Amino acid sequence: MMQNEEVAKVLDEIGDMLEVGGENFFRVRAYRNAARSVRDQPVAVAELSPQQLDEIPGIGADLAGKISTLIKTGELPLHRELAEKFPPALLELRDLPGLGPKRLKLLIDHLDIHGKDDLEREARAGKLRKLRGFGAKMEERILESLARREHAAGKRISYVEAARIAERLVAHLRKCRAVEQLEVAGSFRRRRETVGDLDLLAAAARADPVMKQFAAFPDVITVTGAGETKASLVLRGGLQVDLRVVPQASFGAALLYFTGSKSHNVHLRRIAQARGFLLNEYGLFRGRSTIAGKTEEQVYKALGLTWMPPELREDRGEVEAAQSGRLPNLLSRNELRGDLHTHSTYTDGRASIEEMARKAAEMGLEYFAVTDHSRRIAMAHGLDPKRLREQGRAIERIGGSLRGVKLLRGIEVDILEDGSLDLPDGVLAELDWVVACVHYKLEQNPRDMTRRLIKAIRNPNVDVIGHPSGRLIGHREPSEFDLAEVLRVAHEERCALEVNSQPDRLDLTDTACMAAKHAGVKLVVSSDAHSPRDFELLEYGVNQARRGWIEADDVLNTRPLKSLRQR
């Protein structure tokens, strides 16, 4: 059965190849919107009928038929035809920072580049910098990215993609009656933003039936290792999954060990040794006597520590905090009262304001801000002052008829190259909430980018800087700027920074969240929702914030609306 990510990847590739080929904007956008809608689905689209696919926002009857064909046959004629024109090596270049379809077209048209080797040769010859829209710095970044790719150790996938696979694996293994306990460990349990592999841990008195059930998972391509209590296999798409089966008495110690991180485990073993214990994946021992092992809580308690949330286990001071009773009370999803970064069909959203409002209420949110793009984002049909005021009247009208959720008038306004904003101050002053973001010229030198962000932060109309680094995980490197200076000014101006929940952004990073907390800068965890289902992405922003030691009091949108307005 094809996974949602596989279907979305084909649709994305069609959109990219159409754009490189000069196809009209609306057809390109249709495929990209369809790809995004597929990724958003909580169920496998392979299990849906064409009629059910047609009902998904962003997928009409024509695309529903194409997706059904793709699922049934494993390919699409249009994808195959386009792929014959664009060699696979060329399409792989899309993942390099800054190389979107438009720049790829320039490379094809002007330098006859058809793959990584061609690109590297022309970049080293200094020919890329001569093309409009490239320049010497872009040429240098491309060479650096090619070098990093060459030395990268294995492919990592997004946490959200790993979560979908993990959910199916867990459901499959739970069908085995021999399984007494089951957890996904490793970096996945620590909620890392990307995952290199999945580590499953099962407790069972008999390992053999668990191993047989594991090997029978439908998406297995190859079994790379199989023993009595551990096995490894590779799934479609290349993800490796490891399973270990342990007795119930060792489950807690094994879960602690295989969750990691390595440095956290090393720290715990030092504490164990200092107390005359031996700590490993089988338990905590004094000589031949077992001190603890059945649960993680037992092991931590025997070491004189309180249990630590997996997100904190990176040896960043969590052990010392546990020893002194200073562990943070980490933010939880149900503590978010509102969402302060969302989009509608007024720009590039895929649902009306009314539809977004109904979903927000269903999700238990008390308020949300409609923050469509400003005019600088022409591809999204961004709002000029006239259309923004028209939308404001619509928000007030819709809000007057709603129960359970309050609507705020907002904007995602572009921070221009010099740090000024894309809309006049007088227009912005009329709004309830202003998210300021950088979308263009992300490769500015660190000094200029720092000045650019600081100028926006000092604008009294700006409430929060959205996705501050501009990164797209695996596709675009973050902008470089002086984080300490940006945080200093943000604290001075009482301007918040965003933790964007989109799986390919998760921006701020966990370490930047920690830095913001220490600097006294408030955060906003936002979905950047482009469809009703995107409100569910808030979970991933919360994961990121938790890894950064963030508590409810550090986040503005945990406050009631009245308190938020008075800040």
Tokens of 357: 């409002």
Q: Please state, for a pLDDT cut of 70, what percent of the chain lies above it.
A: 95
Helix H or strand E encompassing 223: strand 220-226
Predicted pLDDT of residue 342 = 97
Is the pLDDT assigned to residue 151 strictly greater than 50? no
Residues with Cβ within 8 Å of 477's Cβ and at least 6 positions away in sequence, in order, are 97, 141, 145, 471
Are both 338 and 292 inside the same structural domain? no
| Residue 149: predicted pLDDT | 58
Q: Indicate whether 317 and 337 sit together in one domain.
A: no
382: left (phi over 0), alpha (psi -120 to 50) or beta: beta
Percent of the chain with pLDDT over 90: 63
Give residue-wise pLDDT tens across range 530-541: 999 899 999 999
pLDDT tens, position by position, 343-353: 999 998 989 99
The whole-number pLDDT of residue 562 equals: 93
- Residue 185 belongs to a domain with what CATH number? 3.30.460.10
199 — pLDDT class (breaks 50, 70, 90):
very high
CB 445 within 8 A of CB 465: no
Average pLDDT rounded to a whole number, residues 436-445 = 92
The last residue of a domain, from among 264, 297, 323 = 323
Reduce the DSSP state of residue 538 to 3 states and report it: helix
Which are the contacts of 18, defined by CB distance < 8 A and separation ≥ 6?
27, 28, 31, 82
Q: Where are the alpha helices (H) located in 335-482, listed in sequence order?
A: 353-362, 385-400, 425-428, 446-457
Each as own residue / partner, the long-range contacts of residues 154-157 (CB below 8 Å, 24 or more positions apart, any chain) are: 154/196, 155/196, 155/238, 156/194, 156/195, 156/196, 156/474, 157/5, 157/194, 157/195, 157/237, 157/239
Tell which of 323, 353, 373 closes a domain: 323
> Is residue 41 included in any domain, yes or no?
yes
- The confidence score (pLDDT) of residue 318 equals 97
Same domain, residue pair 312 and 338: no
Residues 278 and 146 in one domain: no
Per-residue pLDDT at 88: 62
More confident residue, 143 or 232: 232
Residue with the bigger pLDDT between 18 and 327: it is 327
Q: Please tell me the predicted confidence (pLDDT) of residue 148.
A: 62
| Residue 159, CA distances (Å) to 329, 429, 544 in order | 23, 38, 11
pLDDT for 226 beyond 90: no
460-483 residues labelled b (16+ CB within 10 A) or e (exposed): ebbbbbbbbbbbbbeebbbbebbb
Instruction: Tell me: pLDDT of 281 over 50.
Output: yes
Do 515 and 376 share a structural domain?
Answer: yes
Q: Flag whether 219 is in a domain.
A: yes
CA distance 560 to 337: 7
283 and 379 part of one domain: no
Closest to 91 in 3D by CA, of 78, 79, 77, 76: 79
Structure tokens at 198: 């999945």
* Mean pLDDT, the chain, integer: 90
Domain count, the chain: 4
Q: What is the gyration radius of the CA atoms in the chain, in angstroms? A: 25
Judgement on whether residues 146 and 162 belong to the same structural domain of the protein = no
Domain end call among 229, 246, 263: 246
* Short-list 423, 406, 321, 403, CA closest to 370: 406
pLDDT band at 30 (very low <50, low <70, confident <90, very high): confident
Predicted model pTM: 0.81
Residue 458's pLDDT is 98
Place of tokens 């270049």: 93
pLDDT of residue 152: 45
Q: Which residues pair with 200 in a beta bridge?
A: 184, 243
**E strand map for 415-535:** 433-437, 464-465, 496-500, 523-526
SS3 413: strand
Predicted pLDDT at 268: 97
Instruction: Classify residue 360: in a domain, yes or no.
Output: yes
* pLDDT score at 84: 77
Phi/psi region, residue 343 (left: phi>0; alpha: psi -120 to 50; beta: rest), is beta
Q: What is the CATH number of the domain that holds 288?
A: 3.30.210.10
pLDDT digits (tens, 9 = 90+) for 456-499: 999 999 999 999 999 988 778 899 999 999 999 999 999 999 99
318 and 340 share one domain: no
- Which whole number is the average pLDDT over 225-230? 89
In the block, residue with structure tokens 């990592």: 156
pLDDT score, position 17: 83
**Residue 554 confidence (pLDDT) above 60:** yes
Cα-Cα-Cα-Cα torsion 262, 266, 269, 273, nearest 10 degrees, comes to 160
Structural domain range at position 146: 4-151
- Other C-beta atoms within 10 Å of 297: how many? 14
Whether the predicted pLDDT of 328 surpasses 80: yes
Q: Which residues contact 88 (CB under 8 A, 6 or more apart)?
A: none
**102-126 mean pLDDT:** 79
Which amino acid is it at 406?
Answer: K
For CA atoms 350, 355, 356, 362, the dihedral sign is negative
Q: Please name which of 440, 475, 442 lies closest in space to residue 97, comparing C-alpha atoms.
A: 475
- The answer to whether residues 294 and 360 belong to one domain is no
Is 328 a member of any domain?
A: no
Lowest mean pLDDT among 107-116, 340-349, 487-496, 513-522: 107-116
Evaluate whether residue 126 is within a structural domain: yes
**135 and 234 belong to one structural domain:** no
Instruction: Examine the domain organization and report whether 379 and 463 are in the same domain.
Output: yes
The band of 38, judged by pLDDT with boundaries at 50, 70 and 90, is confident
pLDDT band at 97 (very low <50, low <70, confident <90, very high): low
More confident residue, 211 or 94: 211
CA dist., res. 8 & res. 401, Å (int): 37
The pLDDT assigned to 94 comes to 65
Phi, psi (deg, nearest 5) at residue 260:
75, -160
Looking at residue 53, which CATH number applies to its domain? 1.10.150.110
How confident is the model over 353-397, as pLDDT tens digits?
999 999 999 999 999 999 999 998 776 689 999 999 999 999 999
Are 307 and 409 part of one and the same domain?
no
Residue 374: give its domain's CATH number.
3.20.20.140
Residue 89: pLDDT band with limits 50, 70, 90: low
Are 524 and 488 in contact, with CB atoms under 8 Å apart? no
